[in-house]
């Protein structure tokens, strides 16, 4: 969210129904000036952000290629703006949740959420959980500290932003990992840090439950095709397409709904 709101101007696409050509041109010009330096134009903010995540010496030059892509996207918007007014926007966390007040995901998701709400767009917070996704089966929650941190930040944001929905992946994964009676599940690849098909299936059911306030239990949806491809297979050499059925399907659907209900009860102080 930090880079998207500060250096890629992704808010242009949230604002596309009202943004002027002059504003788009100004953002393109600003991004082009970013490319002239290997250090961030606001170095204090750059360093404060990474410091809040326990990181240092993060190179601004490493995001030049992403800025170049953002310029191309803005040039395309300038050439042909569909003037779409969005109903919803999904703001996704990814290794950017900080315990420090007004830093990291909380700070920049809020910035983008306020822009979205000014456009009449409802906000969905998608809390991912890269630190707790297990590559091997576990018998207890993996890294409960980061999970608790992410849940707490999500709770603070839902109260401040009055979101349409929150997708509480850290809570769902923590609950599954703590459940000794459920199937042994993994949520990331061994050979790639991204979520695997099981995690994708869980997330899809979380979205359904959070967005509709209904349980996904009994839905016919049962198939996920991975998008991390190596020689026609997933990063671990397995089939790209996984069909969920029987106990595993029913369990993931139930745990998704339970997590959404639990998060909503926490948000209400129950």
Q: Each residue of 109-128: pLDDT tens digit?
A: 999 999 999 999 999 999 99
pLDDT digits (tens, 9 = 90+) for 212-249: 999 999 999 999 999 999 999 999 999 999 999 999 99
Beta strands 223-225; 241-243: pairing state? antiparallel
The pair of structure tokens assigned to 249 is: 């399907």
Distance CA 59, CA 39 (A): 7
Boundaries of every domain in the chain: 128-139+168-270
Question: What is the value of pTM for the model shown?
Answer: 0.95
Q: How confident is the model at residue 154 (pLDDT cuts 50, 70, 90)?
A: very high
Grade residue 47 by pLDDT with cuts at 50, 70 and 90.
Answer: very high
In angstroms and rounded to an integer, the radius of gyration of the C-alpha atoms of the chain is 20
- Across residues 182-200, what is the average pLDDT? 96
Q: From CA 147, how far away is CA 97, in angstroms rounded?
A: 10
What value does the mean pLDDT take over residues 129-146? Answer: 96
What string of DSSP letters covers the chain?
Answer: -HHHHHTS-THHHHSTTT--HHHHHHHHHHHHHHTT-SS-TTHHHHHHHHHHTT-----GGGGHHHHHHHHHHHHHHHH-------SEEEEE-SS---SSTT-HHHHHHHHHHHHHHHTT-EEEEEE--TTT--SS--SS-S-HHHHHHHHHHHHHHHHHHT-SEEEEHHHHHHHHHH-TTS-----B-SSSSSB-HHHHHHHHHHHHHHHHSS--TT-S--EEE-S--BTTB-TTS--SEEE--HHHHHHHHHHHHHHHHHHHHHHTT-
Distance between CA 232 and CA 66 in Å, rounded? 27
User: What is the pLDDT, as a whole number, of residue 178?
Assistant: 97
Q: What is the pLDDT of residue 36?
A: 96
φ and ψ at 208, to 5 degrees? -60, -50
pLDDT of 49 > 80? The answer is: yes
Give the mean model confidence (pLDDT) for residues 196-223: 98
Backbone angles phi, psi at 174, to 5 degrees: -60, -45
- d(CA 159, CA 259) in angstroms, rounded, equals 18
pLDDT tens digits for range 1-33: 999 999 999 999 999 999 999 999 999 999 999
The arithmetic mean of pLDDT across residues 72-92, rounded, is 98
Question: Looking at residue 101, what is its pLDDT?
Answer: 81
> What is the C-alpha separation between 228 and 138, in angstroms, rounded?
24
Instruction: Inform me whether the pLDDT recorded for 270 exceeds 90.
Output: no
């Amino acid at each position: 969210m930090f880079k998207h709101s500060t250096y890629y101007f992704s808010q242009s696409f949230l604002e596309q129904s009202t943004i002027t050509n002059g504003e788009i041109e100004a953002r393109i010009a600003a991004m082009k000036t970013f490319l002239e330096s290997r250090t961030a134009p606001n170095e204090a903010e750059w360093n404060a952000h990474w410091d809040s995540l326990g990181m240092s010496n993060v190179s601004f030059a490493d995001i030049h290629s992403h800025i170049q892509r953002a310029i191309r996207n803005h040039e395309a918007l300038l050439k042909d703006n569909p003037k779409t007014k969005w109903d919803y926007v999904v703001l996704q966390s990814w290794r950017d949740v900080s315990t420090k007040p007004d830093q990291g995901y909380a700070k920049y998701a809020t910035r983008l959420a306020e822009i979205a709400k000014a456009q009449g767009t409802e906000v969905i917070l998608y809390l991912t959980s890269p630190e707790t996704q297990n590559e091997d089966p576990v018998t207890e929650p993996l890294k409960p500290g980061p999970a608790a941190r992410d849940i707490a930040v999500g709770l603070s944001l839902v109260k401040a932003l009055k979101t349409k929905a929150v997708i509480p992946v850290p809570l769902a994964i923590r609950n599954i990992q703590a459940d000794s009676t459920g199937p042994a599940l993994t949520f990331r690849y061994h050979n790639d840090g991204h979520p695997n098909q099981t995690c994708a299936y869980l997330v899809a059911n979380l979205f359904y439950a959070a967005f509709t306030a209904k349980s996904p239990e009994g839905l016919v949806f049962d198939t996920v095709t991975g998008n991390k491809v190596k020689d026609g297979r997933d990063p671990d050499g397995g089939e790209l397409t996984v069909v969920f059925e029987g106990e595993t399907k029913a369990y993931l659907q139930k745990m998704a709904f339970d997590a959404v209900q639990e998060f909503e009860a926490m948000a209400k102080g129950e």
